[in-house]
Structure 1
C-alpha cells in the first residue's frame, strides 16, 4: 500500500535517498548556477559545474542543494540515490553517468 501513497503525492519532493549507504559530502565553489541533485564535475579552475555529455565520465558527485555561481556548493561523493530524482543537465542521460558514479560508490536506483 505504501507504494501507491508515494506515487499519488506528486506535488511533494521526490524521494532522493535510495538506501542506507553512507553519504560523504565535499564542499566546493560553484562555477555556475547549479540545481539540487545535479551531477557535477570540476572545471579547469577547480570549480564545480554541471556535467555535459563530454564530461560525464569525469563526474565528481551530485549536488546536495542548489547554489549560485561562485557560492559554496555541497555535493555527495558517495551514497544511494533514486535516479528519477536527479536533475540531469540537457544532453546528459543516466546511462552517461551511472558507470562513472559507481566507481565512486554512488549508486543509482530506480523507484520501481
Structure 2
C-alpha cells in the first residue's frame, strides 16, 4: 500500500512538473513557415485592396442609389430606394475599414 501511494505521488509530481518546462520554448513555439516580421509592402497592398473594395461597394449600393445613377428594380430587404435608408447602413463600411486598421498601423 505504501509503495502504491509513493508511486502515485511520484507520478502526480512528474505530471505536474512536465508541462511547466520553459527550456527552448521560443524555439519550439516559432512558426517555421511564416516570417516573424512583415514587410510594409506585404501589408499595404491587401489593406488598400480591401479598403477600396469596401468603398466601391458602398458607392454602388448607397451613393448611386441615392443619386439614381443606378436604379435597382428588385424589391429585396437590403435595397435602398432613393432617400429611404437605415441608420445602420454605414456599419458594413466601418467594419471593412476596421479590419484593415491593424495592417495600416503595422506599416507605420
**If the length of structure 2 is used for normalisation, what is the TM-score?**
0.22
Considering fraction of residues, name the structure with more helix. 2
Considering fraction of residues, name the structure with more strand. 1
Quick check: which has more Rg, 1 or 2?
2
